[in-house]
Structures are given as structure tokens and as C-alpha cells.
Amino acid sequence: GAVVSQHPSRVICKSGTSVKIECRSLDFQATTMFWYRQFPKQSLMLMATSNEGSKATYEQGVEKDKFLINHASLTLSTLTVTSAHPEDSSFYICSVGLAGFPGELFFGEGSRLTVL
Amino acid sequence: GDSVTQMEGPVTLSEEAFLTINCTYTATGYPSLFWYVQYPGEGLQLLLKATKADDKGSNKGFEATYRKETTSFHLEKGSVQVSDSAVYFCALSDWGSGGSNYKLTFGKGTLLTVNP
């Protein structure tokens, strides 16, 4: 499998500020990482696919200018929530796939964002 | 599009009780099916999977059989333990129809609480 770590695990910010969440692949190099959003009592929704060295691919309905994704290295992807508002409060989870494990994902612990 | 429907929780059982969490799916291609588990304070992790019809996935005493005729993948365990308390997610990866083999569609999750 793969070990994926996110930081911070919890963050509280004021409305209008930007927040960066990091996702690290600790034991292998990930050319692709996936960012999910989880609402209370809701399923996980794929927000975007982060591609190392190129632009992220966003799912329909996700604002790319609001949720900036950077995948500058093979072990790090970042999600920046810009000009955060209370409706952006959610649980954000990153994950990676491994060649040889089709369809399986390895998840980070998640980051809970609360916007006041 | 693809979708996963799983029974709503929460489910509360006594230790050693029998567990069933229902999951049905719709998909246009030939999906692989998964159960993921999220223990309190942790990230999601793969519990078991099945990649074709009639396959049975099993792990940690949990089982689920891929039933194409009923489009179902119900999770079962004969005797639950307190340590099984977690949120369980049914998911599918539909890569046979041209979808990404890493793109998962999740159910909403079922919270299981096992009391001693």
C-alpha cells in the first residue's frame, strides 16, 4: 500500500482568508493525487485530480479559482481554499492510487476546515 | 451516471451480533466494487474488494459478494466487535466503460456502533 499524510488535520480561519492544505505521499512517488470533499452525513465527492507538473483536472461544478491545486513534486500536492467562506467549511481528503492496484485508493487522514 | 446506494445508518449492534450493510449500484460499464472503512480520527482504508461478478471479497471477518444480477455488494460479518465501530463506505470504480480506474464513486456511508 501507500502512506498518505495530510496537514493540518484541523484549521479554523476567518472568512475571506485563504487556507492551504498539504497532502504528502510518504513512501512512494505519486504522479496523480485526488482531492475529495466530504460533507456531514454525505458521501465523498471528488473535487479534482492533481497531476504532477501539469494543471489539475477539476470535476464539474468545482470552482478552479476557488480551490487551487498545485502538484509541484512527486510527493506533495497542495489544495488552497481562496477567500474562504463559511460554506467552504468541510472535510477535505486527499488520496493516491498505485499502479497494480486498479481502482484502489489510499487516503490521507483528512483536514477539517472551519470558516468563521 | 454511476451511483452507489447504501443503507442509511446509524446502525447500533451489540457485540457478537450479525452485521449486514446493504449496498446497491448502478454503472454503465463493468465496475469493480469496494468497501472502505473509516475508523474514528483516521483516514479511509480499503476493507475488501471484488473485481468481477460472483467474486467474494473478504477481510477481518467481513465478506461481500459481487452480485451482478441484483447489482448488489452487501457487507456482512458474523460476529461484530467493539473495534468494528466505524463508518463504512461502499464504492465502485467503473473503468471498463472508459472511466478512470482511479475514480471512485462512493455511497454516503453507514455509521456502525458496536456496544459491549
Q: Which of B104, B105, B108, B110 to mutate to test the interface with A (most CBs of A within 10 A)?
A: B104
Of A93, A112, A105, A91, which is closest to residue B35 (Cα–Cα)? Answer: A105
pLDDT tens, residue by residue, A44-88: 888 998 888 888 999 999 999 999 999 888 889 999 999 999 999
Interface test with A, best of B6, B23, B35, B44 (most A CBs within 10 A): B44
Report the candidate in A33, A19, A38, A36 with the shortest Cα–Cα distance to residue A81: A19
Residue A93 CA to residue A111 CA, distance in Å, equals 6
**From B31, which residue of chain A is nearest by alpha-carbon distance?**
A103
Read off the pLDDT of each residue in B65-82 and give the average, rounded to a whole number: 97
Instruction: State the Cα–Cα distance between residues B33 and B46, nearest whole angstrom.
Output: 11
Chain A residues 43-82 with a CB less than 8 Å from chain B: 43-44, 46, 49
Residue B96 scores a pLDDT above 60: no
pLDDT for residue B95 is more than 70: no
Q: pLDDT band for B100, please (50, 70, 90 cuts).
A: low
pLDDT greater than 70 at residue A108: yes
Indicate whether B89 pLDDT > 60. yes
Instruction: Tell me the average pLDDT across B27-50.
Output: 89
pLDDT at position B102? 65
Q: For a pLDDT cut of 70, what percent of chain B falls above it? A: 93
